[in-house]
Amino acid sequence: MKIAITKGRGADAIAIARADGTRADTRLPHKGPVPHDAVHWFVERAFALDRGFWGMVAGGLHPEALQELAKAAGHASAKRAGLPDPEIVQLLQAERIVECFEADLWSGGSGAAADLLAMAETACAGSHVPMPAMPAGAVEAVREGLGAFAREWMAAGEGHVALLEWEQA
């Protein structure tokens, strides 16, 4: 699946072309210095989360439908604590870990990997999902790739297009 993220003024445009020829487009309001869904791409690849955000989009779901899916399948929040359906476990794991890497990026990414993983484990527990298996070098891979992406993205002007490719396992 090919992903094109175009930098906008208050929101970024995401154009998705799946391997089966179907397409999906959406807009993502700015949340931080880099697009949130780009952080998902780095995290889900490094942690082998094939049923996270991008895996579900590759499987045919529209990005905007994922929030409703998570809510309907028991996404744990302060208002709705409970065990989520197994189908969204990796989606929730990805979201919690992405939030940790966003915080890591915003703070300069100089903390110990063990501290970042401890924060991610606590975040996963808060959503009633286990911390996923930790592939060797995953934290370093995300930090390196995301750091390079962030430097390029933040230096680029409006209209810049970042091209990513998702390969389903």
4-8 long-range Cβ contacts below 8 angstroms, 24+ apart: 4/161, 4/162, 4/163, 4/164, 5/35, 5/37, 5/38, 5/161, 5/162, 5/164, 6/159, 6/160, 6/161, 7/153, 7/156, 7/157, 7/158, 7/159, 7/160, 7/161, 7/162, 8/158
Tell me the per-residue pLDDT of 62-102, one tens digit each, with 9 for 90 and over. 998 887 776 665 565 545 557 888 888 999 999 999 999 99
pLDDT at 74: 57
**Burial tier of 115 (Cβ tally within 10 Å: 0-12, 13-18, 19+):** exposed
pTM exceeds 0.85 for this model: yes
Specify the 3-state DSSP secondary structure of 131: coil
pLDDT at 84: 82
pLDDT at 76: 52
| Confidence label for 59 from pLDDT (cuts 50, 70 and 90) | very high
- Count of C-beta atoms within a 10 Å radius of residue 96: 22
Tell me the per-residue pLDDT of 107-127, one tens digit each, with 9 for 90 and over. 887 788 899 999 999 999 988
Tell me the per-residue pLDDT of 124-153, one tens digit each, with 9 for 90 and over. 998 889 999 989 999 999 999 999 999 999
Structure tokens, 24: 């999906």
